Amino acid sequence: MRGNALRSVADRFDARKAERTECGPRGEAISLEPRPKDYDVVIVGGGPAGLSAAAFCGKKFLRTAVFEGKCWGGILTRHCPDKRIDNYPGVPKGILAEELAALLVEQAHGAGADLIDLGVEEIAPDGTVRAKDLETAGKVLILACGSNAGEAGIPGEKEFAGRGVHYRVHDPSRFRGMRVVVVGGGDTAISHVHRLLGAAVRVTFVHRKPHLRSVEGLSAEALQSGNLEVLLGTAVEEILGAARVEGVRLRQGTEAGTRDLPADAVIVAAGRVPNTALFGNVGLGLDPEGRIATDEWQRTSVPRILAIGDVSSPLKMIITAVGQAAVAAHEAYEQVRSPYWKK
């Protein structure tokens, strides 16, 4: 699916909404008659994990609601809609993030899940979910809250956040003609570099270790481009500027001296932090990295609460989130329906 694929999927999605509701402003449930007290499964988070879980639950005829207060598709649409996903099984030529997100939305909606355009504000210890004036609780709660961009702890990073320091590249064209420094060494940083090369006048890729953490590394095309500088074994000591970012201070290895590099923007790709703020009072067990601890069936330390995706997984991959969603949906079915073959 290419070209106008996202639009066609979105049009079909909107048409289905129009059949069921008057499509009110943001914050109203897509469902014509939401059942706030009658759900089998309530899912918090409309990213790949949450939408996949909704589709699997719907196919098992579980009454399902999904809450999402930002972007349907989660990180796919919020951070990198134009990124090509090259490691999703069955799509050898890759698929744009926004296209995959649209398909996930359509599949969840088609399976009968209620997609509720509200951000969850509180999760009570008993699993009750509150979002504005809506309060609901399912027989099973699935947490698919995702993760947030981590901070690198560089002096000047917080001071210039939003004034030249960024944690995502939603639209590379916003950096057209700029001198951009990308800080990090993983797949996200690599993706930022590739997407920025066609817009920025210069991209400087800085990683404090001598080797990258990325699985695939920089493409040959990127390495041969004339506007990319790669600085491995180099640390960003400070982000410089007055009203906004004007440069960075670099230190090569263990050398005593530093040098200042002019820059218009700094993209920080320092990993991701699980989004656990919503359920601090629920009593969920966490692992040493701050993720929700789960067993092989995605069960948490609290009965009837499951967790999937970035909020619980050490591996931040779409296919991992989708796999966990399938497991969680199966577990939810067993807990709700108690089939005869349940162990």
- CA 246/CA 263 separation, integer angstroms: 5
- CA 251/CA 1 separation, integer angstroms: 45
Confidence of residue 37 (pLDDT cuts 50, 70, 90): low
- Does 159 map to a domain? no
**Judgement on whether residues 49 and 93 belong to the same structural domain of the protein:** yes
**Judgement on whether residues 282 and 191 belong to the same structural domain of the protein:** no
Looking at the predicted structure, is the pLDDT value of residue 68 above 90?
A: yes
**Judgement on whether residues 94 and 46 belong to the same structural domain of the protein:** yes
**Judgement on whether residues 175 and 304 belong to the same structural domain of the protein:** no
pLDDT in tens, 165-224: 999 898 899 999 999 999 999 888 998 999 999 899 999 999 999 988 876 788 888 888
- Does 140 map to a domain? yes
- Does 343 map to a domain? no
**Judgement on whether residues 139 and 183 belong to the same structural domain of the protein:** no
Are 165 and 247 within 8 A, CB to CB?
Answer: no
- Does 289 map to a domain? yes
- Does 281 map to a domain? yes
Maximum Cα–Cα distance across the chain: 70
- CA 263/CA 256 separation, integer angstroms: 22
Among the candidates 210, 233, 268, a domain finishes at 268
Mean pLDDT of 267-290: 88
- Does 158 map to a domain? no
- CA 277/CA 122 separation, integer angstroms: 9
User: Residue 119, class by beta-carbon neighbours within 10 Å (0-12 exposed, 13-18 middle, 19+ buried)?
Assistant: middle
pLDDT in tens, 120-175: 999 988 888 999 888 898 999 999 999 888 899 999 999 999 999 999 898 899 99
Mean pLDDT of 257-263: 93
pLDDT of residue 51: 97
- The DSSP code for 287 is -
Specify which of 39-43, 222-226, 280-284 reaches the highest per-range mean pLDDT: 39-43
Question: pTM for this one?
Answer: 0.84
Looking at the predicted structure, is the pLDDT value of residue 55 above 60?
A: yes
Q: Domain limits at 121?
A: 5-149+272-337
196: enclosing H helix or E strand: helix 187-196
pLDDT of residue 74: 87
- Cα separations in angstroms, 60 against 54, 68, 154, 207, 231: 10, 22, 48, 46, 51
Specify which of 69-83, 256-270, 277-291 reaches the highest per-range mean pLDDT: 256-270
**Judgement on whether residues 14 and 142 belong to the same structural domain of the protein:** yes
**Judgement on whether residues 289 and 262 belong to the same structural domain of the protein:** no
pLDDT of residue 36: 53
Looking at the predicted structure, is the pLDDT value of residue 281 above 60?
A: yes
**Judgement on whether residues 318 and 181 belong to the same structural domain of the protein:** no
Mean pLDDT of 310-321: 92
Query: If you average pLDDT over every residue of the chain, what do you get?
Result: 86
**Judgement on whether residues 17 and 145 belong to the same structural domain of the protein:** yes
Among the candidates 247, 268, 289, a domain finishes at 268
**Judgement on whether residues 143 and 227 belong to the same structural domain of the protein:** no
Joined together, the tokens standing for residue 224 give 């041969």
Looking at the predicted structure, is the pLDDT value of residue 282 above 90?
A: no
- The DSSP code for 127 is -
Are 107 and 326 within 8 A, CB to CB?
Answer: no
Specify the residue for token string 């050898």. Answer: 92
- CA 39/CA 157 separation, integer angstroms: 43
pLDDT of residue 9: 42
- Does 105 map to a domain? yes
pLDDT of residue 229: 94
Among the candidates 268, 291, 313, a domain finishes at 268
Q: Which residue has the higher pLDDT, 138 or 342?
A: 138
- Structurally, the chain folds into a number of domains equal to 2
**Judgement on whether residues 144 and 281 belong to the same structural domain of the protein:** yes
pLDDT of residue 12: 44
**Judgement on whether residues 39 and 121 belong to the same structural domain of the protein:** yes
- CA 223/CA 211 separation, integer angstroms: 15
Looking at the predicted structure, is the pLDDT value of residue 11 above 60?
A: no
Residue 164: other Cβ atoms inside 10 A: 24
Residue 196: other Cβ atoms inside 10 A: 25
User: Residues of the chain with pLDDT > 70: what percent?
Assistant: 89
Read off φ and ψ for residue 322, nearest 5 degrees: -65, -40
- Does 155 map to a domain? no
pLDDT of residue 280: 80
CATH (domain of 246): 3.50.50.60
- CA 6/CA 261 separation, integer angstroms: 40
